[in-house]
Amino acid sequence: MALRTAGSVLVVFLWSVAVVLGQYGWSVTYTTQSICALKGSTVDLSCSYTYPRGHKVTTTFWFTKIDALENDVNLRDDPDYKGHVTYRSDKNKDCTLKITDLRLSYSAEYTFRFITDQEGGKYSGYPGVTLSVTDLQVKVTTTWWSTTLTCSTTCTLTGNSTYIWYRNSKIVQAASSPSYSVYFKTEDSFYCAVKGINSPAVSVRAQSYFHVTYTHQRICTLKGSSVNISCFYTYPSGHTVSETNWYIKGKLHEAPQILSLGYGGRVEYLGNMQSDSTLRITDLREEDSAEYKIRFRTDQTNWEPTFPGTTLTVTGLQVKVTPATVTEGQTVILTCSTTCTLTDNPNPTYIWYKNGHVTTQSNSLFLKPVSSEDAGRYSCAVEGHEDLYSPEETLTVTYGPKNTSVSVSPSGEIVEGSSVTLTCSSDANPPVDKYTWYKKNVASPKASGQSYSITNIISEDRGEYYCEAQNGRGSMNSTALMIIVAEKQTSVLTAAVGITVVVLVLILCLPCFMWFRRSIGGSDVTADTQSVHPDPNSDTYTALNMKTRSPEYDTLANVRDSSSDTVPQIDAEPSDYEN
């Protein structure tokens, strides 16, 4: 296989910490004193040595063991190392040892020894180099949310290593880290190898384990929406899954029970009954927030992971108005908030509704400056879930008085001695709490209160009146209203004119009465005179009365009309009389 034919030389990069051993010119220097290498790889134990002038080296060798006679055993003569060791030539006093195709049993301390032609001319470089040979093993660590496969060694490999992970014979990771996180699926096989080393790859088969990997540790989603909580599971080959159940931590809900336990038709199971399962919950409610876990049953056993499942949080939306109350012209920010960050939309765009109508799309509503027209009921929704809107929140915008105006009652010309009431009205929020009345060219205020009554009005009251409305947010003066006081004399004069006219009519009618009396006989004269006398209930009399009370010219016109009606009759009479 490709894995096995990979290069076979481990190049050990060594710290340049030279370890010099010895005295008086005798020394052995190992470039590194401790090496960790993989089984099957090749190592060089770098070494150099010195000895005093005048000596000639006759023998050099490496050893790990001492024989029964307390002699060091030359590695080259050790049957365990046959074909695995090479001494580099002694030129340049280089004593490097190469060991190929490492075996686990080669873990030992390696020491270099040399002997010269002189008496006592021998030297061993203690302490030697410690070699640890390790093989690869796959460790499966099931964390809460995934499976971590670690290509482990018993010692830390010397130098930089690249760990390669294969999933079903394809490279899925090549990294300096020996760990690989994965969704473990039943059909998967994983292999691990170290790049460049002819060391057997080790494999792990998901099929050997009972395991569950939830696709999410946490899910945050909107109230009213739907969610899929899913996982992959594995189990030893030979088992057949007969049932998968999702349950809430604490109380166990078997699938049919969930359907009848308040979830109604909101729960659905999806999955292939072989390697994955999904719990689908629709029309989510806040009380669905819980930790959901799976367990499954095979034809041979029940299995239930002990580690946590998926924690579901169902959030509603809430409009927050900052500041809570605002005065026109200030700045107000409306934000739409959730209790958790939405899993499928961490940075949502919100749709804003004002009084039930879509106004805008934005993260937050920034009203600067805010106007009284912005006041209203606001709610928000997440784009894509426009139908799931928040409860409404009312934005109240306070403002100082606007549109301050004065009205008068009764309207029209005011007669001396009568009363008149002025009323101030204004649009303000909060409502106006102080009204002050002024008369133009009069410094001090005339009155306070929304209405101002002037009783027994006199001509000096004539003038322009205005009011000031205040509400703690501001104040505003109305435009002035002119009050004209009509003098009483005017009405007396009018009455006099009226009386004169009536008298005139009576005088003009006199010949008519005379004629009438002549035509029907004298006995009726008394009755006729009585009918001519103004009846206190007659229209004419009433009209005159009204005229004194009110200066309406209409009334005067009526009086004139009735007299002019009479006149033509009088005009016609003289001709009759002449006849």
Ligand X SMILES: *[C@@H]1O[C@H](CO)[C@@H](O)[C@H](O)[C@H]1NC(C)=O
Residue number, 444 or 523, with CB nearest to ligand X: 444
DSSP 283: S
Question: 27 or 277, CB closer to ligand X?
Answer: 277
Q: Is residue 280 at the binding interface for ligand X, with CB under 6 A as the rule?
A: yes
- How near is the Cβ of 15 to ligand X at its closest, in Å? 12
Identify the helix (H) or strand (E) that includes residue 508: helix 489-520
Cβ proximity to ligand X: between 195 and 518 the closer is 195
Q: Strand order of the sheet with strand 137-142?
A: 137-142, 147-152, 179-182
CA 34 – CA 156 distance, rounded (Å): 11
Choose among 270, 247, 271: nearest CA to 255: 247
User: Does residue 446 interact with ligand X by CB under 6 A?
Assistant: no
End-to-end CA distance of the chain: 155
Query: Which token pair is 300?
Result: 């041979």
Q: Please work out the total of residues on this chain that contact ligand X, with binding judged by CB under 6 A.
A: 13
If one asks whether residue 270 binds ligand X (CB under 6 A), the answer comes out as yes
Binding flag, residue 44, ligand X (CB under 6 A): no
| Out of 122, 402, 446, 462, the residue judged to bind ligand X by CB under 6 A | 402
CB of 410 to ligand X, least distance (A): 23
Residue 478 CB, shortest distance to ligand X, in Å, is 9
Among 73, 63, 54, residue whose Cα is nearest residue 117: 54
Does 403 sit near ligand X (CB under 6 A)?
yes
- 320 lies in the binding site for ligand X (CB under 6 A): no
Q: Does 13 bind ligand X (CB under 6 A)?
A: yes
**Contact call for residues 373 and 348 (beta carbons, < 8 A):** no
Site for ligand X in 351-380 (CB under 6 A): none
Question: Binding of ligand X at residue 328 (CB under 6 A)?
Answer: no
Residue 288 or 468: the one with the smaller Cβ distance to ligand X is 468
Shortest CB 402 distance to ligand X, Å:
5
Q: Alpha carbon of 544 to those of 168, 225, 526, 535: distances in Å?
A: 119, 82, 26, 12
Burial class (CB in 10 A: 0-12, 13-18, 19+), 320: middle
Query: Closest separation between CB of residue 46 and ligand X, Å?
Result: 16
CB of 475 to ligand X, least distance (A): 4
Interaction with ligand X in 461-500: which residues (CB under 6 A)? 468, 475-477
Q: How far is the CB of 221 from ligand X (least distance, A)?
A: 8
Shortest reach from residue 477's CB to ligand X, in Å: 4
Among 154, 208, 226, 419, binds ligand X (CB under 6 A): 226
Q: Which residue lies nearer to ligand X by CB, 173 or 475?
A: 475
Distance CA 174, CA 12 (A): 20
The residue (of 392 and 427) whose beta carbon lies closer to ligand X is 427
Cα–Cα distances in angstroms (integers) from residue 495 to residues 418, 492, 501, 554, in the given order:
18, 5, 10, 13
Nearer of residues 27 and 475 to ligand X, judged by Cβ: 475
Task: Report helix, strand or coil for 565.
Answer: helix
Rounded to a whole number of angstroms, the minimum distance from the CB of residue 485 to ligand X is 22
Q: Does residue 31 belong to the site contacting ligand X (CB under 6 A)?
A: no
User: Site residues for ligand X, window 152-191 (CB under 6 A)?
Assistant: 160
Rank residues 441 and 455 by Cβ distance to ligand X and give the closer one: 441
Q: Are 313 and 219 in contact (CB under 8 A)?
A: yes
Q: Tell me phi and psi for residue 170, to 5 degrees.
A: -110, 140
DSSP state of 239: B
Between 189 and 345, CB nearer to ligand X? 345
Contact 314, 222 (CB under 8 A): yes
Task: Give the nearest distance from C-beta 556 to ligand X in angstroms.
Answer: 37
Question: 509: phi > 0 → left, psi -120 to 50 → alpha, else beta; which?
Answer: alpha
Give the relative orientation of helices 553-578 and 489-520 as an angle to the nearest 10 degrees: 30
Rounded Cα distance between 32 and 499, Å, is: 142
Q: Where along the sequence are the contacts to ligand X (CB under 6 A)?
A: 13, 160, 226, 228, 270, 280, 402-403, 438, 468, 475-477
